[in-house]
């Protein structure tokens, strides 16, 4: 089977991706609990193939201000991974991690930025480790880069990069639960199609 | 009464005065406003990529600076606009992630702007206002009543061109 775009993925392959997402999210919750020194619960992640338009809507519209954190995948898998965190998620992690309460995005300082990048680093590693463990692929992630701006503007970065590959992307929605607080996080997995094909072959679902 | 027409990503549209065109959250994409002040016809294109030639994939022309601008001019001509009268205002082309190391991602906004300028130059359409580059997202409103372009950002407020 030749994959040309993400839309060529069949039902079995999508299920495999969902399972990878489940394992990754489980790892992520464990890692986040350890980092925040606080039990973190997790709802069953939802994994879908969405168009950029649909992702933008899921994030509260193009002008909604969110945190975007971008990492590149290198090694046996290349592509991008992007975390899209709403204000509530940034609140939850920063308040627990740094013990400071911040009111809105403009009150985040340098310390807050590095803390958020570190959280993204841990979450990304959790997902990547899940894939590595199951497939034996060696995958490295680059230093995360952070941007707080309109959801649509942030999404334009992966949209442009993969415009010639696919109009749809793999969208993972998690809900982390920390005490009374609940916070959604969204992850875009954007491997290039060659990497995706490799992944499917390794997992024995290449046809 | 004027109505407002939304232009999506890889999309374009043209309207007559006093209608307003809007495109939301330009990141590295570029918004191109063209205006015929005599016939008071305005057009807006939201392009994602610099050139249809190096894309290798045959897809819709609205996505690219070169083909998108040509198609917008054509659409405006069909509505009665005169190409020699057209003036341009452009916005967007930001580098959203400031410290990204991958150069093909880092430069894309800049390359989009360069391609837009090149195309407008070839069509002899002068650029009378430009709000491009930097590291933030922009929403663009284009008022065809007088050709004003309004830029809105989440962290810096809004201003007129």
The answer to whether residue A207 is domain-embedded is no
Cα–Cα nearest to A32, from A175, A137, A133? A175
> How sure is the predictor about A112, in pLDDT bands with cuts at 50, 70 and 90?
confident
Residue B56 has pLDDT above 60, yes or no: no
Is A177:A41 a contact under the CB 8 Å cutoff?
yes
pTM of the model: 0.88
Q: Contacts of residue B153 in chain A, CB cutoff 8 Å?
A: 150
Of B9, B24, B154, the CB nearest to A159: B9
Residue B67 has pLDDT above 70, yes or no: yes
pLDDT digits (tens, 9 = 90+) for B26-49: 999 999 999 999 999 999 999 999
- For residues A195 and A187, what is the distance between their CA atoms, to the nearest angstrom? 18
pLDDT digits (tens, 9 = 90+) for B69-106: 999 999 999 999 999 999 999 999 999 988 766 666 67
Q: Which residues of A touch B (CB under 8 A)?
A: 52-53, 56, 61-63, 65, 68, 70, 72, 106, 142-143, 145-157, 159-161, 163-164
Most confident of A29-38, B26-35, B103-112: B26-35
Residue B58 has pLDDT above 60, yes or no: no
pLDDT attached to residue B43: 97
The answer to whether residue A167 is domain-embedded is yes
Strands B87-92, B127-132: parallel, antiparallel or unpaired by DSSP? parallel
Mean pLDDT of chain A: 83
Q: What's chain B's Rg over C-alpha atoms?
A: 15
Residue B141 has pLDDT above 90, yes or no: yes
Q: Contacts of residue B28 in chain A, CB cutoff 8 Å?
A: 156-157, 160
- Cα-Cα end-to-end distance for chain A: 5
Of A40-44, B84-88, B142-146, least confident by mean pLDDT is: A40-44
Cα–Cα nearest to A124, from A64, A171, A83? A83
Of A63, A148, A156, the CB nearest to B28: A156
Cα–Cα nearest to A153, from B19, B51, B154? B154
Q: Contacts of residue A146 in chain B, CB cutoff 8 Å?
A: 97
Here the tokens at position B74 are: 């054509």
Produce one character per residue of A37-67: b if its CB has 16 or more CB atoms within 10 Å, e if not: eeebebeebebeebebeebbebbeebbbbbb
Q: Contacts of residue A142 in chain B, CB cutoff 8 Å?
A: 101-102
Give residue A198's domain range: 6-202
A57 CA to chain B: closest CA distance, Å?
12
A48 CA to chain B: closest CA distance, Å?
21
pLDDT attached to residue A2: 61
- For residues B91 and B26, what is the distance between their CA atoms, to the nearest angstrom? 8
Contact check, Cβ <8 Å, A62/B25:
yes
B104 CA to chain A: closest CA distance, Å?
8
pLDDT attached to residue A3: 67
Cα–Cα nearest to B11, from B28, B23, B2, B27? B23
> How sure is the predictor about A207, in pLDDT bands with cuts at 50, 70 and 90?
low
pLDDT attached to residue A25: 82
- For residues B29 and B127, what is the distance between their CA atoms, to the nearest angstrom? 17
Residue B59 has pLDDT above 90, yes or no: no
| Count of structural domains, chain A | 1
Of A106, A154, A163, the CB nearest to B96: A154
Q: What is the CATH number of the domain that holds B9?
A: 3.30.1330.200
Contact check, Cβ <8 Å, A154/B27:
yes
pLDDT digits (tens, 9 = 90+) for A148-188: 999 999 999 988 887 766 777 888 888 888 777 778 888 88
| Count of structural domains, chain B | 1
The answer to whether residue A141 is domain-embedded is yes
Cα A177 from chain centroid (whole Å): 17
At residue B152's C-alpha, the angle toward residues B147 and B154, to 5°, is: 175
Q: What is the CATH number of the domain that holds A102?
A: 3.40.1550.10
- For residues A129 and A138, what is the distance between their CA atoms, to the nearest angstrom? 9
pLDDT attached to residue B54: 64
**DSSP helix/strand/coil, B66:** helix
Give residue B27's domain range: 4-160
Of A11 and A66, the one with more pLDDT: A66
B125-130: Cβ within 8 A, 24+ apart: B125/B34, B125/B73, B125/B83, B125/B86, B125/B87, B125/B88, B126/B87, B126/B88, B127/B87, B127/B88, B127/B89, B127/B90, B128/B87, B128/B88, B128/B89, B129/B89, B129/B90, B129/B161, B130/B89, B130/B90, B130/B91
- For residues A157 and B13, what is the distance between their CA atoms, to the nearest angstrom? 23
pLDDT digits (tens, 9 = 90+) for A118-149: 888 888 888 888 888 888 889 988 888 888 99
Residue whose pair of structure tokens reads 């204000």 in the numeric block: A87
Residue whose pair of structure tokens reads 């407002």 in the numeric block: B4
Residue B12 has pLDDT above 90, yes or no: yes
Has the ipTM of the complex gone over 0.85?
yes
Of B25, B98, B100, the CB nearest to A152: B25
Residue whose pair of structure tokens reads 């199951």 in the numeric block: A134
Of A32-36, A89-93, B91-95, least confident by mean pLDDT is: A89-93
Q: Which of A147, A159, A167 to mutate to test the interface with B (most CBs of B within 10 A)?
A: A147
Query: What are residue A40's phi and psi, to 5 degrees?
Result: -120, 125
Active site residue B33: no
């Amino acid at each position: 089977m030749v994959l040309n775009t993400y839309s060529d993925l069949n039902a079995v392959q999508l299920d495999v991706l969902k399972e990878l997402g489940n394992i990754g999210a489980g790892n992520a919750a464990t890692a986040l609990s350890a980092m925040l020194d606080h039990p973190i619960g997790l709802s069953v992640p939802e994994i879908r193939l969405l168009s950029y338009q649909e992702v933008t809507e899921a994030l509260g519209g193009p002008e909604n201000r969110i945190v975007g954190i971008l990492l590149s995948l290198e090694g046996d898998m290349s592509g991008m991974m992007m975390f899209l965190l709403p204000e509530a998620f940034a609140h939850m992690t920063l308040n627990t991690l740094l013990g400071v309460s911040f009111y809105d995005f403009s009150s985040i300082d340098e310390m807050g930025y590095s803390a958020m990048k570190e959280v993204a680093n841990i979450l990304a590693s959790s997902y990547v480790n899940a894939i590595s463990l199951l497939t034996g692929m060696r995958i490295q992630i680059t230093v995360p880069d952070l941007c707080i701006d309109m959801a649509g503007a942030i999404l334009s970065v992966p949209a442009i990069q993969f415009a010639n590959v696919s109009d749809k992307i793999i969208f993972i929605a998690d809900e982390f639960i920390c005490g009374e607080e609940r916070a959604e996080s969204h992850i875009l997995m954007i491997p290039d199609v060659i990497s995706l094909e490799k992944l499917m072959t390794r997992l024995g679902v290449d046809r | 009464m004027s109505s407002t027409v939304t232009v999506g990503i890889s999309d374009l549209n043209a309207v007559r005065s006093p209608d307003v065109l809007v495109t939301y959250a330009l990141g590295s994409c570029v918004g191109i406003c063209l205006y015929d002040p005599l016939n008071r016809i305005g057009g807006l294109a939201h392009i994602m990529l610099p050139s249809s030639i190096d894309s290798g994939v045959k897809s819709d022309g609205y996505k690219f600076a070169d083909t998108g601008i040509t198609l917008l001019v054509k659409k405006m001509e069909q509505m009665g606009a005169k190409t020699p009268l057209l003036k341009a205002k452009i916005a967007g082309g930001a580098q959203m992630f400031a410290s990204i190391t991958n150069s093909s991602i880092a430069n894309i906004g800049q390359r989009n702007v360069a391609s837009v300028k090149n195309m407008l130059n070839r069509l002899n359409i002068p650029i009378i206002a430009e709000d491009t580059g930097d590291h933030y997202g922009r929403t663009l409103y284009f008022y065809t009543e007088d050709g004003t372009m309004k830029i809105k950002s989440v962290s810096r407020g809004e201003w007129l061109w």
